[in-house]
Amino acid sequence: MTALHEKSMTEVTRMPRRSYITEWVIGTIGVLTAGVGAWMYYVPTDWFLGGLVEGWYFGMFVAAGLLLTAAFGLFARTVYIDDPEWTTRVGVPTVLALAAFGGAITFALIWIL
């Protein structure tokens, strides 16, 4: 009588994909904050908040940079967890997060100095 040997199988269980709502919300708020900062740059000084205009747009650019850093960083982390390889899909958001953080630091230094 012959013995039947069953082939061993390994199963790969994957976590279900997570929604990117948090990243989209933070990123949208960051882009809107940058837009308000750019708009504040052109606000006339005789406006009722004109005295605050000089520092506000730098603050808005710093806040926008930090928000975009968080959004791109969270997105890059989530993509890296889904597929743990350094692909273009992971590298581009990482570079964008670093660029946004560099912009936030630059505007913070200009604002302080």
Return the C-alpha torsion angle 22, 14, 90, 20, nearest 10.
Answer: -10
**Residue 107 host element (H or E):** helix 88-112
Q: Give per-residue pLDDT as tens, 55-97.
A: 778 888 999 999 999 999 999 998 898 888 889 999 999 999 9
Summarised one tens digit per residue, pLDDT across range 53-64 is 667 788 889 999
pTM of the complete model:
0.73
Domains in the chain: boundaries: 21-112
Q: What is the pLDDT of residue 56?
A: 79
Q: What is the pLDDT of residue 52?
A: 66
Helices 88-112 and 53-82 sit at what angle, rounded to 10 degrees?
A: 160
Q: From CA 90, how far away is CA 79, in angstroms rounded?
A: 6
